[in-house]
């Protein structure tokens, strides 16, 4: 997408204001468009361990900044101004879409963890928590995602705390292209999170192996040689 979408949005905003004024005088209906993030497609990882031996991992619902919590798709028109679409809306709750896709992506990409389904007992599980401060199109023709994610252990101790910062250029103008780019950006973020979690797990395994005491057996003693007679 080019900056022309920003101009289009500003012009359409003025047009919508006029339509709102005319609606009480028999104005015509305005078409509304609904979108969902595209489904991710990646081959499942061949798990090397059984589910019982993998670390249980839960995924908390993705938290969004207040300006992203509405039903309209958000577009950033300048460094300081954001616009929520009135006719181009999310078909399903955005947080639920993001959480579901992240859970599926981590389940397919993580080798060490067993990702728990919604509602499963997670008292003994590690937990991934994500807070997004940005999830929108931007005036420079990119879809942007920014935020942070944390990994907690079962006792709520912080194991990881890292930023999320992904941007994907739009292939063309329009909200359909914007939603597609946001979907690609979210999958890139999910892959980065999975790589980070796998790296942390591998580091912990190495540390555990290095700290494991080495058991030394009893030294072998040979029988004293028989003394030779003079």
Residue 59 pairs in a beta bridge with: 128
d(CA 162, CA 22) in angstroms, rounded, equals 49
From residue 94, alpha-carbon distances to 7, 71, 75, 188 in Å are 25, 8, 15, 17
How much is the CA Rg of the chain, to the nearest whole Å?
Answer: 27
Residue 203 in any domain: the answer is yes
Residue 204 in any domain: the answer is yes
Residue 172 in any domain: the answer is yes
Total-model pTM: 0.78
The answer for residues whose C-beta is within 8 angstroms of residue 180's C-beta and 6 or more apart is 38, 171
d(CA 162, CA 131) in angstroms, rounded, equals 11
Q: State the CB neighbour count (10 A cutoff) for residue 74.
A: 23
Q: State the CB neighbour count (10 A cutoff) for residue 85.
A: 23
Residue 114 in any domain: the answer is yes
Q: State the CB neighbour count (10 A cutoff) for residue 64.
A: 21
Phi-psi category of 26—alpha, beta or left, where left has phi over 0 and alpha has psi -120 to 50? left
Range of the domain at 176: 57-66+94-208
End-to-end CA distance of the chain: 103
CATH of the domain at 106: 3.40.50.10610
Domain count, the chain: 1
Q: pLDDT of the chain along its 230 residues, tens only? A: 555 555 454 444 433 433 343 333 445 578 999 999 998 766 555 555 555 578 999 999 999 999 999 999 999 999 999 999 999 999 999 999 999 999 999 999 998 999 999 889 999 999 999 999 999 999 999 999 999 999 999 999 999 999 999 999 999 999 999 999 999 999 999 999 999 999 999 998 888 888 766 656 655 555 555 444 44
Residue 36 in any domain: the answer is no
Residue 25 in any domain: the answer is no
Token code pair at residue 156: 């709520």
Residue 177 near residue 152, CB atoms below 8 Å: no
């Amino acid at each position: 997408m080019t900056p022309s979408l920003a101009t289009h949005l500003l012009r359409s905003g003025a047009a919508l204001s006029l339509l709102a004024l005319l609606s009480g005088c028999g104005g015509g209906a305005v078409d509304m468009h609904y979108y969902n993030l595209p489904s991710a497609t990646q081959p499942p990882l061949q798990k090397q361990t059984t589910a019982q031996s993998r670390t249980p991992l839960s995924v908390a619902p993705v938290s969004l900044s207040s300006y992203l919590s509405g039903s309209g798709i958000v577009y950033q028109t300048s460094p300081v101004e954001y616009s929520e679409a009135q006719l181009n809306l999310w078909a399903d709750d955005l947080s639920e879409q993001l959480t579901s896709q992240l859970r599926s992506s981590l389940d397919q990409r993580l080798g060490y963890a067993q990702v728990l389904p919604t509602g499963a007992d997670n008292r003994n599980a590690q937990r991934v928590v994500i807070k997004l401060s940005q999830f929108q199109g931007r005036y420079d023709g990119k879809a942007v995602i920014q935020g942070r994610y944390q990994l907690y252990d079962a006792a709520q101790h912080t194991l990881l705390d890292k930023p999320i910062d992904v941007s994907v250029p739009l292939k063309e103008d329009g909200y359909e292209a914007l939603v597609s780019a946001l979907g690609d950006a979210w999958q890139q973020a999910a892959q980065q999170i999975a790589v980070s979690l796998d790296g942390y797990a591998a580091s912990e395994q190495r540390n555990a192996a290095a700290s494991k005491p080495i058991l030394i057996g009893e030294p072998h003693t040979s029988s004293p040689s028989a003394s030779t007679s003079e």
